């Protein structure tokens, strides 16, 4: 599955938000939240299109796609040098695909801040510094090894060394590795280092109940910081989310309407994480189940089939594809076929978000 790690300094609201995520997962009966480890939660990705498809197909089951959130505790100043949970923390964070950085923007005298005051930009900097130091250590060690092999004339190692030096220079300037702008090929060459600062980041501003409009100066600072980095920011109020997590589906809709909100902060966070990971959804729609599946944006039809079963990918012949809007507007597959909107696509077809697909394959 695709994993999004939750990081942040102590007392910023990580556990509150993580707990809301896990109990929100429990609410979806068809996709029960499951605990892999105490700090890993699998959550359904909310998707209104599933309901629209189900209204047409009337399936026995509706199955959303899912995402994993990992609560990564232990990030404090000095973590890269072994303070706090140190290495254990870094081990966890290397394994995630993207990072949600929870930043405290709420003031509450009852909740102590580790540095004595609420200051989101300082917090972001503390976290970035730790992650940079950890990567710097990894890169320096690798450079030592690689430069020996490069000197002995190894062309591959010379190419790698050149990339490593660019990353090191950026880290030295306090920039994350993702700011280097490596090509996909270059990134692949150093992928096994599992650099932390190369992962995409989502800033999650945890605000107090009164600041949900996002006008508070703290939030604006985080928003500007995210924009300058080309990153996204999501607004959330941990306290409200933990209340929403207690409600059943209908109560939740009512509650959100009363607050004038389209979707919960949690749903926004899940969607933002999904987007950050570069993921898209395609659907299968049959009487047994209407189901959402996740692929990387750019996936070809056989890869999409492979998400269902590896045999589907190996024996792939063709895919019957209907664009989501065509499917809905035609009242389903039969209608789409009549209008010539059901296409037969081959191995080179690039999946589009929302495609309703049916695979033909050899066994």
- Residue 117 assigned to a binding site: no
Q: Give the C-alpha distances (Å, rounded to integers) separating 177 from 28, 91, 166, 194, 201.
A: 37, 18, 9, 11, 12
DSSP state of 192: G
Which of 12, 279 has the CB closer to ligand GDP? 12
- Residue 101 assigned to a binding site: no
Q: Does 84 bind ligand GDP (CB under 6 A)?
A: no
- Residue 260 assigned to a binding site: no
Q: Contacts with ligand GDP: how many residues (CB under 6 A)?
A: 16
**Residue carrying the six token digits 């902060």:** 265
- Residue 66 assigned to a binding site: no
For residues 225 to 244, the per-residue mask of contacts with ligand GDP, x marking binding by CB under 6 A and - elsewhere, is ------------xxx-----
Which of 119, 345 has the CB closer to ligand GDP? 119
Residue among 206, 264, 281, 294 that touches ligand GDP (CB under 6 A): 206
List strands edge to edge, sheet with 66-71: 40-44, 66-71, 3-7, 98-104, 201-206, 232-236
Q: Does 168 bind ligand GDP (CB under 6 A)?
A: no
Q: Does 106 bind ligand GDP (CB under 6 A)?
A: yes
Helix (H) / strand (E) containing 131? helix 120-151
Using CB under 6 A as the binding rule, the residues of this chain from 311 to 340 that contact ligand GDP are none
**Residue carrying the six token digits 């590896």:** 310
Q: How far is the CB of 15 from ligand GDP (least distance, A)?
A: 3
Q: How far is the CB of 107 from ligand GDP (least distance, A)?
A: 8
Helix (H) / strand (E) containing 170? helix 155-172
Q: Does 23 bind ligand GDP (CB under 6 A)?
A: no
- Residue 84 assigned to a binding site: no
- Pair of tokens at residue 243: 């209340």
Q: How far apart are CA 217 and CA 40, in angstroms?
A: 33
Which of 235, 300 has the CB closer to ligand GDP? 235
Q: Does 8 bind ligand GDP (CB under 6 A)?
A: yes
Using CB under 6 A as the binding rule, the residues of this chain from 207 to 226 that contact ligand GDP are 208
Q: How far apart are CA 77 and CA 135, in angstroms?
A: 15
Q: How far apart are CA 173 and CA 303, in angstroms?
A: 39
Contact 194, 165 (CB under 8 A): no
Q: Does 16 bind ligand GDP (CB under 6 A)?
A: yes
Q: How far apart are CA 74 and CA 54, in angstroms?
A: 43
Q: Does 349 bind ligand GDP (CB under 6 A)?
A: no
Q: How far is the CB of 11 from ligand GDP (least distance, A)?
A: 4
**Three-state SS annotation for 203-263:** EEEECCHHHCCCCCHHHHHHHHHHHHHCCEEEEECHHHHHHHCCCCHHHHHHHHHHHCCCC
Residue among 5, 13, 41, 265 that touches ligand GDP (CB under 6 A): 13
Which of 7, 198 has the CB closer to ligand GDP? 7
Q: How far is the CB of 104 from ligand GDP (least distance, A)?
A: 8
Which of 8, 302 has the CB closer to ligand GDP? 8
Helix pair 120-151, 217-229: axis angle to 10 deg: 20
Q: Does 41 bind ligand GDP (CB under 6 A)?
A: no
Chain residues binding ligand GDP by CB under 6 A are: 8, 10-16, 106, 108, 111, 206, 208, 237-239
* Known binding residues: 11-16
* Known binding residues for ATP: 11-16
């Amino acid at each position: 599955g695709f994993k999004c790690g939750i990081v942040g300094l102590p007392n910023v609201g990580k556990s509150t938000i993580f707990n809301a995520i896990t109990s929100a997962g429990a609410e979806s009966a068809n996709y029960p939240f499951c605990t892999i480890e105490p700090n890993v939660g699998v959550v359904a990705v909310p998707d209104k299109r599933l309901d629209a498809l189900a209204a047409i197909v009337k399936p026995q089951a509706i199955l959303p796609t899912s995402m994993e959130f990992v609560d990564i505790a232990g990030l404090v100043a000095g973590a890269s040098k072994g303070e706090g949970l140190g290495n254990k923390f870094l081990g966890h964070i290397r394994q995630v695909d993207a990072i949600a950085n929870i930043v405290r923007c709420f003031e509450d005298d009852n909740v102590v801040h580790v540095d004595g005051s609420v200051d989101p930009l300082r917090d972001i900097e503390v976290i970035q510094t730790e992650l940079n130091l950890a990567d710097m250590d990894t890169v320096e060690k690798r450079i030592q090894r690689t430069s020996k092999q490069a000197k002995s004339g190894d062309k591959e190692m010379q190419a790698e060394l050149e990339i490593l030096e660019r990353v090191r220079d950026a880290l030295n300037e306090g920039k994350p590795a993702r700011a280097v702008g490596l090509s996909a090929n270059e990134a692949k060459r150093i992928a096994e280092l599992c650099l932390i600062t190369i992962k995409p980041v989502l800033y999650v501003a945890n605000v107090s109940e009164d600041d949900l409009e996002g006008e508070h100066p703290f939030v604006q600072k985080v928003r500007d910081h995210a924009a300058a980095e080309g990153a996204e920011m999501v607004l959330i109020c941990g306290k409200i989310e933990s209340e929403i997590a207690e409600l059943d589906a209908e109560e939740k809709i009512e509650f959100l309407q009363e607050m004038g909100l389209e979707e919960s902060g949690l749903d926004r966070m899940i969607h933002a994480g999904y987007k950050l990971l570069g993921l898209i959804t395609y659907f299968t729609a049959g009487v047994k189940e209407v189901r959402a599946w996740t692929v990387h944006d750019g996936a070809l039809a056989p890869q999409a089939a492979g998400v269902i079963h590896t045999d589907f990918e190996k024996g792939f012949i063709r895919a019957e594809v209907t664009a989501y809007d065509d499917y809905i507007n035609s009242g389903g597959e039969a209608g789409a076929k009549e209008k010539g909107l059901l296409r037969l696509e081959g191995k080179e077809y690039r999946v589009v978000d929302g495609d309703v697909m049916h695979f033909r394959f050899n066994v």
